[in-house]
Structure 1
Amino acid sequence: MRLIQGKISLRTRLFLAMIVLVFIACMMILVATYYQYGSESESYNQFRMERKEKQLRSQINYLVFQNSLSLSSSETWSIYNNDLQAVMNILSVDYSIFDLKGNPLFISFLPLKIIANNYVLDTKIINKIQTNSNKRYVEKNIDEIGKFQSSYSYLIDQSGNPYAILFFPYFEDVSFSENELNTFLQSLYQIYLIMLVIAIGIAYFISKYVTRSLETLRLQINSTGLLKRNKRIHLKNPSREIDSLINSYNNMIDDLEKSAERLAKTEREQAWQEMARQVAHEIKNPLTPMRLSIQNFQRRFDPMDNKNKNKVEEFSRLLIEQIDIMSNVANAFSDFATLPKAQLLPTDIVETTRRATEIFEYENVKFNSTSEKILCPLDEPQWIRAMSNLIQNGLQSVGTKKKAKIEINLFQKNNKIIIEVSDNGAGIDPNLKDKIFEPKFTTKTKGMGLGLGIVKNIIEAHKGQISYSSNSKSGTIFIIKLTLKQS
């Protein structure tokens, strides 16, 4: 799923989470393997140390028992230095022997701290040997020759009594184990690298598979609209959670379609009701004076009156006038509903607009153009009708208290043709600016409110725009913009 507004998508989060988990698992296994290998190495060295020490103790006891050295003095021990040295060479180990007080009996190797103590064991070491249950004390040493373990233990005679203290240094041969560990870790690194690459591929496809249903939902929801024909979602083998989301979406689509149908039906009914009220209102307007005229004529009619002819003519004129008003109402609604599609042909817009103003030559309508001729795609009858409606609207806005003044200015700016129709009327209330082009809306006592609606439809059919600016003092200016070169 893509990134939206800088946020990490669910697919990316799943992918990264699986990679991190695999990486952490590899590191944990690697660390555990390292410590396990170290623990096994330590156990092995401990076992090897005890085995060598046991062999050494056996050889020393044999030599001591054969020569009855267990109760001998240090001078007697020195006589057998060569034999003790031979044991050291046979077993390839170093060792030293002290009496029970810590004085040296045989020395081949000693830690620096014992050498610094005049080759005498510290009483602390002797005490630790005595207090230990197996009469043995092991400590780790570090000096100039490296790391090693020092084992201090009693040598026991045939009666089970200690007769001396054995010092046995054990030097671990770590070169082989370290090389083996490094080789093992290198192989493990390579295996983990291959596993990580495979895990990345698997994580990518799993994250893509898991979020595929959500991506389908997202795309479908983005394309959902109230007035669209929305499609239901059907997926094969979705998970329980995704299936619940899909069912909720499909139910919402069903409810949305029902709501859209109810809304469209309500709007159609309201439109017809509003149109019916408007038509009824406009027809009732002339019917009232017609009724009053007939009633008045009945009261005043005298068969013997010599002026009956004039009265009948006057009465007929009033009826015809009101009938014409009703006919105009019907024609206006019919024209608005059946406005034909504009047939745009190359036409001189300057001459066509001038002809539209000529029928108002007695109404103080002035036309100005900066060009003698401008060819523009026009439907000539509809254009004349739009201009006539704008001029008529301006004349009606002035009223009878002052002389109307309508001015039409036509000019070209870049690839735009601009027509400005201005009047000196009372202007348009700012609160009504959003309704001025709506059908059936009017601020006048006469008219059906269809004139500006028809004008707007005609201008838009010519791929143009219409707007206005209004001031209560200077009047209103309607501004029409047409594109000179239409694709």
Structure 2
Amino acid sequence: MSLSIKIPQKFSFRTRLFVVMTLILLFAGILILITTSIQYEAQRENYHLGRLDRKVAQLERHINSIVEKYNLYSQPDSIWSLYKMDFEKINLIHSIHYSLFDAEGNPLFIYHTPLEVIANDYILEDNLITKIYSSKDATYMEEYHSDIDKFHASYRLLKDPQGTPYGILFFPYFEDVSFSENELNTFLRNLYQIYILLFIGVIFIAYFLSKYVTRSLETIRSRMATTGLEKQNEKIYLKNATREIESLVNSYNKMIDDLAESAEKLARTEREHAWQEMARQVAHEIKNPLTPMRLTVQSFQQMYDPNDPDNNKKLKEFCKLLIQQIDTMTEVAEAFSNFATLPKSKMKTSDLIEVTQLAISIFNQEQIVFSSNEAHIFHDLDRTQWIRVITNLVQNGLQSVPKNRVPQIGIHISKETETTTISITDNGSGISSDLKNKIFEPKFTTKSSGMGLGLGIVKNIIDSHGGLISYVSTPEKGTTFTITLPRN
């Protein structure tokens, strides 16, 4: 039978280690208590059996001396009765009671009646006599229990000098159970008190030992909890660590080196990918005006007639088309330049309500509903960048509304305990769920024209202000952008 201790997995390793150590100590104490009780009981039993054997030996020597003195070995019962006073003196000398039977089990002197002979005319039963004759060392022992006491009965076969049995000695031995129990209880009580003090002391030792053992693991755990691909990860250096902990630390430090190398490779790959995407988009946006420019030049070249009186008019139209396409290319260049070189934020404490109302003043006020739970909310802002954020989001919202629907933009600013929330809601066509991970990418757009850099610039500005931007959109019903700014 094996003993298994199951500790719930939700507890920490240190707690489980402490509980296991405490339970082991508790089981050891219980085992010591049980073992001590069993051993004490065995010693008590051996002591009383030895004492019984010594008393029986004393009685045997005394009886043998009387029998030998009066030569009673083969005498009838009537002769034995003549010396009754001598046998009664044995009771007084040894302060005990005994009974004496002849070799056939018939009573000679009865000073204490064995239980077996009460209902048998004080004659020992044949099976008991057989046990006595066949017992080792001519001594047979039995244990008797009653409602009030417990005693051992010793039957000793008495022999003459030639080894011939002449009688059977019965001697009852009553144990002082109360004394033994009091002695055992005193011993166990002292042991219990000592063990309680020892148990409390060892609990403290087990607690600090478990804390010491798991200290290195706690250090590793805390470091691993703060390890990240985009963080400055630190290695672990422990003194006097065990071989197992040292191996774990070495593996962690190697993982940190591998993680740093992977992060560097990933950053390099992302930069290369970003440049590739940017170059691809720049090329695409530049190609868009180049194609009509090429077609316009080719058409003008084929249709040009020096003698045509409308040449001046055609030349003006030709130049106008070229200038439009050149302006488009200029817008492309400026848009990418603005995204790549966003000016450093110039923070200044400003009234968020005032700056926001200034930003939306350029739009048709019939299409915009503005509300706020405070008349003035002050924040550290870059006024120029914040106006850019609001105008971009409002303009995107207006442009997302289908032509068969009246545009409606709702702007609400709410001042809270630790943050200020700005929500901008439109009733446009919404954003489909498959585009939700691309909305803040530089090239994302849902419009038929433009480079799609606006929301990317908006996110960069919000990030520079320490805020967050998110959105909730329902297709064909509208979109709500939510900006959360930390309060000063």
TM-score range, shorter chain: 0.7 to 0.9
**CA deviation after TM superposition for structure 1 residue 130, in Å:** 1.9
Q: Which residue of 1 aligns with 2:326?
A: 323
Aligned to 1:188: 191
Tell me whether 315-324 or 278-287 shows the greater mean CA deviation: 315-324
1:18 and 1:203 in contact (8 A); partners too: yes
TM-score (norm 1): 0.84
Aligned to 1:123: 126
| Conservation of the 8 A alpha-carbon contact between 2:360 and 2:391 | no
Instruction: Give, in angstroms, the shift of residue 433 of structure 1.
Output: 4.4
Residues 53/351 of structure 1: CA separation in 2 closer, same or farther (3 Å cut) = closer
Alpha-carbon distance in 1 for matches of 2:479, 2:39: 92
Instruction: Indicate the larger mover: 167-176 or 266-275.
Output: 167-176
Cα 1:92/1:426, change in 2 over 3 Å: closer
Deviation string, structure 1 residues 347-369 (Cα, Å, up to 9, x no partner): 635752454127xx9xxx74556
Cα pair 1:141 1:150 within 8 Å, conserved: yes
For the 8 Å contact 2:101–2:107, the answer to whether it is kept is: yes
Deviation, 1:404, is 8.3
**Residue 149 of structure 1 contacts residue 170 of structure 1 at CA under 8 Å; is this kept in 2?**
yes
Shift of residue 429, structure 1, vs aligned partner = 4.5
Tell me which amino acid in the other structure corresponds to 1:79.
Answer: L
- Matched to 1:263, the amino acid is L
State how far apart, in whole Å, the 2-side matches of 1:264 and 1:243 are.
Answer: 31
Report whether the alignment pairs 1:453 with 2:459.
no
Equivalent position of 1:55 in the other structure: 58
- Compute the displacement of 1:81 (Å): 0.6
The aligned runs of 1:130-145 (5 Å cut-off) are 130-143=133-146
1:300 has 2:303 as partner: yes
Please say if 1:287 is aligned against 2:290. Answer: yes
Equivalent residue number for residue 3 of structure 2? none
Distance (whole Å) between structure 1 residues aligned to residue 287 and residue 272 of structure 2: 22
| Deviation at residue 464 of structure 1 after TM alignment | 7.8
Distance 1:290-1:58 versus aligned 2 partners, 3 A rule: same
Structure 1 ranges of 4+ moved more than 6 A = 411-419, 459-462, 480-483
**How far does the alpha carbon of each residue in 1:206-227 deviate from its partner, in whole angstroms, 9 at most, with x for none?**
2112211221222111111121
| Residue deviations 1:86-130 (CA, integer Å, cap 9, x gap) | 122222222222122222112222124323322211122111122
Aligned length: 472
The 3-state SS of whatever aligns with 2:299 is helix
CA contact (8 A) 2:160 2:166 kept: yes
Normalized against structure 2, the TM-score is what? 0.84
Q: Hey, what does 1:10 align to over in structure 2? A: 13
Helix, strand or coil at the partner of 2:301:
helix
Q: What is the percent sequence identity of the aligned residues?
A: 50
* Whole-angstrom CA distance in 1 between matches of 2:482 and 2:312: 52
Match 2:256 to one of 245, 253, 256: 253
Q: In structure 2, what is the equivalent of residue 46 of structure 1?
A: 49
Unaligned stretches of 5+ residues in structure 2: 1-6
Shift in alpha-carbon separation, 1:218–1:69, aligned structure 2, 3 A: same
Task: Give the 3-state SS of the residue equivalent to 1:57 in structure 2.
Answer: helix
The answer to whether 1:109 aligns with 2:115 is no
- 1:43-442 to 2 correspondence within 5 Å? 43-143=46-146, 146-340=149-343, 341=345, 343=347, 345-346=350-351, 348=354, 352-353=358-359, 355-357=361-363, 366-367=367-368, 375=376, 381-382=384-385, 384-386=387-389, 388-390=391-393, 393=396, 406-408=407-409, 422=426, 428-442=431-445
Alpha-carbon RMSD? 3.5
Report the CA distance shift for 1:117/1:219 in structure 2 as closer, same or farther (over 3 A).
same
Cα distance in structure 1, aligned partners of 2:479 and 2:151: 105
Change (3 A) 1:461 1:158: closer
Q: For 1:420-449, what per-residue CA distance to the aligned partner results, in whole angstroms no more than 9, with x for missing partners?
A: 6757x7665454344344321224442111
Where structure 1 has 5 or more consecutive residues not aligned to the other structure, the ranges are: none
Of 463-472 and 31-40, deviating more is 463-472
Q: Is the 8 A contact 2:393 2:424 kept in 1?
A: no
